[in-house]
Structure formats: structure tokens, C-alpha cells
Structure 1
Amino acid sequence: MAPNPSYYGSDPATSHGREESAQSISPPDMGPVLLLLPEEILLLILSYLDRQALGRLSQVCKKLRHYTSRDSVWRRIARRCLNTGFLQQGADMISVIPVKERVRVSQNWKYGRCERNVILKWKRNLMPWLQVDGDLLYLTQAEEIRAYQLHPNGSGLHRRPYAVLLGHQEDVCRFVVTNSHIISGGGDGKIALHKVHSSVSIQFSAHEQDVNCVDCHGGIIVSGSRDRTARVWSLSSAADAQCLHTIQTDDRVWSIAINPLLSSFVTGTACCHHTSPLRIWDLQSGQLINCLGTEFKRGAGVLDVCYETPSILLSCGYDTYIRYWDLRTSTRRCVREWEEPHDSVLYCMQSDGNYMIATGSSYYGVVRLWDKRMNRCLQSFSLSCPTSSPVYSLRFTTSRLYAALATTLHLLDFTVSSHQFTTL
């Protein structure tokens, strides 16, 4: 009895026939099996991969490179990265720059890879304050506020000011940029209202001494002064501002910020008395709501405050700490704190609304980057060696950081390419 070929293995003749049939069904140029999946399923699978896996997969073929570059694939990764434009609640504040590119630049922030440049110099020692609004950078120069046009490629700014805003007889201490106005406080005790993209400005006497700080939201201005008062102003009148409340703080006010819900505002004072330097006031009545913290030492003044959300507040100052306050509970306590490692005063700070904080220190122009998920400083940059100058003000975007020192304006550009992440 002849053996059955199928019992021991495939018959060579029939096997060869099946191979030819399979080749006719699945041609060699069909591509990766992943591409057979519906697009929405493929993108969902890719969204669960990490950064390195996506980088390797993008090298397989052009189609997979296209799919691994989609924003939806990178959003989950971007929400966990530093300074990608995603806020704590998951909202994406940027829609122009691809999410994949933001993740690449985020790695440069994390590892401190940047190009440093001095983009502006001046001869006098000043205490400049700066703000960045779109493609304009606003910088105080003594009694002036100068607006500079930023280069589209981010390499710097046009040396000639786009506009010069006047209105003070002494140095401008602080200012804030809104959609319609630039509001500034000066050493002459005045507040000036400058219309954006216009030479029209209004000045009025606000305090008896220096207006150290101002903030503005929803047509309401709050100001703090060396004369130990804070005041609330209404912008309902086009020609002037009406004082709604005058609050006796019994201490010099160094910093101030309005809650995004327009329900209250916080003052940071010099802490020359036993009262807490951080106090929250009702915006409608001007009454004290609460004092934050009891652990402040005498002289631990608060130089900068900012709201991340209506319930999260950040503060820094003379006591060398960044403090993270949770205002959702009745105790309104400090839930996290980070200490400046060289015991330097912290003049200014900014948060990305998610995980990153940048601070400016009082010695050698040190800018530090902090990751809230870590206890120690993430990266530091010394901008003024060998001479020493504080970082009086700083602002950053998703790709660049600007820092104002006594005689120079510095740019840290984090868009530099890195060979390690060229596959991203």
C-alpha cells in the first residue's frame, strides 16, 4: 500500500501550487499588516505606544511615518511632558505647532539642550519687567515700556522698538498685557492705561508711593503699593478708572494677582510683621477672606504670585521657596514646596499650567526649571557670570525662554535639533 504523502508532509507538487495561489492573493508590495486595519483602529493602537516605539515604527515606510506623525497619536505622551501646551485639565492651548514637534522640543527642556543668546543690551542698571504677547515682546526701560517685534523664526527680535509707551515720570515697576490695554504701575504712584496698537494712554494718581504691582481681568484692576495699601479699580469709564476699594494691608505690597473667576485676589507683602504675607481678599467687598500659611519668617516677603487655576496658587520670594497652594479646602494649605538650592531670593516665576515651573534667582542670573513631579531642580542656566545680576523677570513659550537681567535680555532657544531624537 502506497504511503499517503499528506500523512508525512505536503506533496511537493501540490505545495508548489498553493504557493503560487498565495502569491496571486498577497503580492509582495502589499505592505505591513498594520496598514490593513481601519484608520481609526490603527491610530488608536499607535496612541498606546511610547515615544521610542513610534520613532522606530516611523522608519518602516512612508505610510507609517504619516500615521505616526498625527497629533492624536502623540497627545497622550504630550500630556505627560513638560511645557507642551497642555494644561492640567487636558486642554490644548496650541493648535498650530504639531504635537509631535512639541514633544521633541519638550525633551530639550527636560535635558537642558538650548541655544543661548543675548538679544538686547542697555547701559544703565535697571530692574526690567517683560511680557510676551504673540509676536510682540514688551520690556520696561526705566520710565518707558518698549514693544519689540519678535523674528518669525524665533532667532531674536528687531532691535528697533515697534512702539514706545509713555506715561510715567519715574521707572515702571510692573505692567500687565490684556486684550485691549497695557496697564502699568510706576514709581511715581501712577497707573497708566495704554491702548494696544495705539498711542493713546491715560494716567491717573493711584497711590501715595510706588505702585509695585498690578493685575487686570474683566475690566477690573488691582494694584499694590509701597504705601501699604491695595486698591481695586473699575475700567467702566473710558476716560478714567474709578476706585472701588482701598485696603489697608499694613505692609508693603510686592505682588498681586486676580483669581480667574473674578471672585477674589491675593496680595503678597514684605512680611515685616507677624501677619502672613499671603492674604486673599474678596473682590466685591474688599474684605479679608483668608491668610495663607503660618510658617513664614519675618522678612520672607512674597515677590511673585500667580494662579494656575482658580483653586491653585503659586508663590515665591525672599524665603527662597516656591510654594504650591491648594485653595479648594477651608484650610487653604501649602501642599508642595521646592527650595532654591543655593539659598537665593526668587524674584519671578512662570508655570506652564501643567508640570513645569521656571524661576529667576537673585545671584548670577540663574534661571531654573522645575518639574512638579520631582523634589529637586530639573535644570539650571547661569546667564550673568562672571558679574552677578538677578533675573528680574522671565517669560517662556513652548519653545523659548526670555529672561531680563540688569543690563541684558537673554534668549534660550529650545528648538535646537538633537541627534538622539531625530527619529521623532
Structure 2
Amino acid sequence: MGRKGGRRAEAEAGGGLWALPEELLLLICSYLDARALGRLGQVCRRLRCFTGRDPLWRRIARGCLNAGFSQLGADLAAGIPVKERVKVSQNWRHGRCQRKALLKWKRNLMPWICLDGEYLYLSQAEVIQAYRLRPDRAGLERPPQAIFSGHQEDVCRFVLVNSHVVSGGGDGNIVLSEIHSSFSIKFSAHEQEVNCVDCQGGIIVSGSRDRTAKVWSLSSGRVGHCLHTVQTEDRVWSIAISPLISSFVTGTACCGHSSPLRIWDLESGQLVTSLGTDFHRGAGVLDVLYETPFTLLSCGYDTYIRSWDLRTSTRKCVMEWEEPHDSALYCVRSDGNHMMASGSAYYGVVRLWDKRRSRCLQSFSLSYPTSSPVYCLRFSTTHLYAALTSTLHALDFTAP
């Protein structure tokens, strides 16, 4: 069939749809689900192009897992076609992925990782290494593009902010390193190891085994100046600054009579509120993160992920999800919408959760038959990375 015949066939296949204004056609198609849109796109090339437009898939994507949209509808993965993200989200829901060990090392460590665009940052003992991700995101380019040092003992936690790496170590020091140069600043922060750090708006907060949390200035001429010392009366395992940069939350070991989750005012260092009333002794909080200025997630030794909404009640969480094998949860991450991923204490178990359900969707054991905690995990719309005692794993959800 010639070109004219092909165009005529496409016009006939499209029927009278193309006689409608484009705005009306978009409105009609907006009522279709993903399967109906896919079938409509098979009618002809023109409809395939039309039904692939981002506006038609945004409503569908906002109800999917890890499709790159926040609870308020903000696009967190601009530049990637929404239709493609919806397709990949089905792999997340059904656990379809390829697994790969990206790095292995001989020493048993407690590594931490961060993602920043096309780079993955990994702490190994006293240093932090920056690896460029391969174009397929399922591998790392060797050797590392940069190595950040300065600690005398192992790096416990680190964060990336404004082209800087901020790390806390077992030597009680905090190191601030510029990513694109060799410049770094180190200052003594705590009497014992710095278990956790966070940084926003020219402020660093740190928590330590010495039972204190501290607020540090990054202002010019005052870098490393301690603004407040908070006596937590318990070892601090996790810490996070509110997106409003008005307060911060600490997660402690829960060995005393105080709640392991407490919020402190950044300006005064005073206690704002305690979260929860029914924690058992030893139910320490190992990870905590803000999803919005008013909602946060926590997890720890008592095997639960909890969601808190500061606008409703601080006495009771709004939702909770129990790890089914009664294992401590070392880390939790969120897509900012419906999906969570958690890392367990045994056999490198990573679980995917839909917040709208009480049970986990999928689980992956990354270290069976040996056992290792998942110390840290991070994910994008296509890949999940998990750091275990001696291995860095990747789950590729684009290629099941």
C-alpha cells in the first residue's frame, strides 16, 4: 500500500475522533484507564502518538507505585515520559526485576549510600567514594570518580547538600567536603561516634552515642560553631531536619523513660513535642525521614514502620506496617506518594510496601543463605540500591 493509501487507512481507523477539537479529545481520553489507552494507541500511528502524551498518563501515574509523582502531584522525575514510568511501576508492584551485585568487599562494614543524579555515593570504612552510574543505571563505572576522606574511624552516616558531602564518623568528628574540589573542613563534634547527621539551610544537626544532639552553623566565619547542645538522655540513632527548617526530629535507643521520637526547635534547641506513648523499652528508632513538613516515617528495633501526621495527633501514629518476620528494620525510604521500601536486619531482606495496604507487596532476600542487615537503601523510578555488610546490590525494574 502506498503512502496515500496508508494515510487513508489511518484516517478511517481513527474514525470521527479527529473531527473533534484536541481539547475535547484529551478530555475524553482522560477517562480511560491504562489498558484502554494502550488499546486505543494500537489503532493507528497517529493515535499511538496522541495517547502517549504525558497529560493523559499523569492521573494514572499518581495512583501508581513509584511513578515519580508526590502526594500533591508534583513531578519528581521530569524528563522521563510518564507512560514509560507507568509501565515500570507495574514491575515494582509485581516484583519483576533483575538482581545484580555491583560491588563486593572483604571486610564486614556498615555502609551508607546516597544517590545524586548519575552518581552513587558509598561509604566504606573511613572514606566515601563517588561512582558514576552507567547509562543503564544497573552498573557502576570504575574506578570511583572521587574519594572523600578525613575521618580516622568508619563513616557512620553522610548526606549530600549543595555540592557538599557532610559526614559523621566513629571518631566523633564531622567532615564537610566540597564535591568538585579537594577542600574540606573537619571539626570535633561529639565525645563518641556521630551516628547520624542531616544538613539543610546552612545548618547541620548531629546525633551521637554520647546521648546528645547538636546544632551547628555553616554561616561564613562560623562554620563548625555549635549553636545548641540537646541532652537527649539516650543514644541517638537517627536524625532529620524538617523541610521548613524550623525543627528537627531525633530517634533514640529507647533505653530510658522518654519517647524515642522527639521533635526539637532549631532556633532554641528546646523540646517541641514527643511522638507516641506506647513504645516498649529497647524499641529504638534506627531511621526517620520527613515526607512533607507535617508527615514523617520512622522504623527501628520494634519491627514496625510508622507514619506520623503532626497536624492530627502526636500521641499516636496514623498508620503502621509490621515486618512479617519479626525482624528489626534498619532503614526505610519513600517515593513521596504510595510506595515505601524497607531494609531488614537479617538475610538482606528488602520489602516493597503500598501504603494503602497493611501487608508488604514484595520481598527480596539479597544475602541468603548468609545473613546481613540492609544498612541503607535508595531508589529511583527504575532501580533500587541496597548496601549490605559486604555487598552493594542493585535491583533493575526496567528489565524483568
TM-score normalised over the length of structure 2:
0.96
Secondary structure in structure 1 of the residue aligned to 2:91: helix
Residue in 2 that maps onto 1:267: 250
Is 1:258 aligned to residue 241 of structure 2?
yes
Following TM superposition, by how much is the alpha carbon of 1:333 offset from its aligned partner in structure 2, in angstroms? Answer: 3.0
Paired residues for 1:406-417 under 5 Å: 406-416=389-399
Equivalences, count: 391
Does residue 133 of structure 1 match 2:151?
no
Q: Within 2, Cα distance between the matches of 1:131 and 1:94?
A: 17
How has the CA–CA distance of structure 1 residues 261 and 60 changed in structure 2, closer, same or farther, with 3 Å as cutoff?
Answer: same
Residue equivalent to 1:191 = 174
Q: Deviations over 1:285-321 (max 9, x none)?
A: 0000111001100000000000000000100000000
1:326 to 309, 333, 336: 309
Match of 1:83 in 2: 66
Distance (Å, rounded) in 1 between the aligned partners of 2:31 and 2:353: 27
Contact 2:308/2:314 (<8 A) preserved: no
CA RMSD of aligned residues (A): 1.2
Confirm whether residue 60 of structure 1 aligns to residue 43 of structure 2. Answer: yes
Any stretches of 5+ residues in structure 2 without a counterpart? 1-7
In the alignment, which residue of structure 2 is the partner of 1:171? Answer: 154
Report the CA distance shift for 1:207/1:261 in structure 2 as closer, same or farther (over 3 A).
same
Equivalent residue number for residue 76 of structure 2: 93
1:232 is aligned, of 208, 212, 215, to: 215
Q: Does 1:158 align with 2:148?
A: no
Between the aligned partners of 1:28 and 1:356, the Cα distance in structure 2 is 43
Q: Which piece of structure 1 moves more, 141-150 or 332-341?
A: 332-341
Q: Percent identity?
A: 72
1:326–1:333 CA contact under 8 A, matched in 2: no
**Distance change >3 Å, CA 29–CA 159, structure 1 → 2:** closer
Distance 1:41-1:127 versus aligned 2 partners, 3 A rule: same
Supply the distance in 2 between the matched residues of 1:257 and 1:29 (Cα, whole angstroms).
56
For 2:296 and 2:10, the matched residues in 1 are separated by 58
Deviates further, 39-48 or 401-410: 39-48
The answer to whether the Cα contact below 8 Å between 1:324 and 1:335 also exists between their aligned partners in 2 is: yes
Distance 1:276 1:28, change over 3 A: closer
In the TM superposition, residue 39 of structure 1 has moved relative to its aligned partner by 1.3
Q: How far apart, in 2, do the equivalents of 1:41 and 1:387 lie?
A: 58
Give the 3-state SS of the residue equivalent to 1:370 in structure 2.
strand
- How far does residue 157 in structure 1 lie from its aligned partner after superposition? 0.6
**Which protein has the larger Cα radius of gyration, Structure 1 or Structure 2?**
1
Partner in structure 1 of residue 327 of structure 2? 344
Which of 90, 101, 104 is 1:107 aligned to? 90
Question: Which residue is equivalent to 1:4?
Answer: none
Equivalent residues in 2 for 1:4-43, closer than 5 Å = 30-31=11-12, 32-43=15-26
Partner of residue 221, structure 1: 204
Cα distance in 1 for partners of 2:72, 2:315 equals 20
SS at structure 2 position matched to 1:40: helix
Distance 1:263 1:179 in 2: 19
Alignment-derived partner of residue 385 in structure 2: 402
Alignment partners' CA distance in 1, 2:289 and 2:11: 56
Q: CA deviation at 1:43?
A: 1.4
> Any conservation in 2 of the 1:323–1:334 contact (CA below 8 Å)?
yes
- Within the candidate set 127, 139, 145, 1:144 is matched to 127
Distance in 2, matches of 1:272 and 1:30, equals 72
* 1:33-88 alpha-carbon deviations (Å, 9 max, x no partner): 11221112111211110011011111110111011100011000000000011001
User: Matches of 1:93 and 1:45 in 2, distance apart?
Assistant: 26
Q: Do 1:179 and 1:196's aligned partners in 2 also have CA atoms closer than 8 Å?
A: no
Tell me if the contact between 1:204 and 1:240 (Cα under 8 Å) persists in the aligned partners: no
**2:59 aligns to what SS in structure 1?**
helix
1:202 aligns with 2:202: no
The yes-or-no answer on 1:300 pairing with 2:307 is: no
CA distance in 2, matches of 1:322, 1:265: 19
Among residues 356, 360, 364, which one is paired with 2:343 in the alignment?
360
SS at match of 2:79: coil
Q: For 1:266-285, list aligned pairs within 5 A.
A: 266-285=249-268
Q: Is the 8 A contact 2:276 2:314 kept in 1?
A: no
Which residue does 2:370 correspond to in 1?
387
Contact 1:86–1:353 (8 Å) recurs in 2: yes
User: Aligned-pair distance for 1:29?
Assistant: 6.4
Secondary structure in 1 aligned to 2:341? strand
Shift of 1:242: 1.1
Superposed CA deviations along residues 113-167 of structure 1, whole A, max 9, x for unmatched, are: 0010001111100000000000110000100000001001223111311100001
CA displacement, residues 9-51 of structure 1 (integer Å, 9 cap, x when unaligned): xxxxxxxxxxxxxxxxxx8764221122111211121111001
Structure-2 separation of matches of 1:67 and 1:179: 39
The alignment partner of 1:334 has SS state of: coil
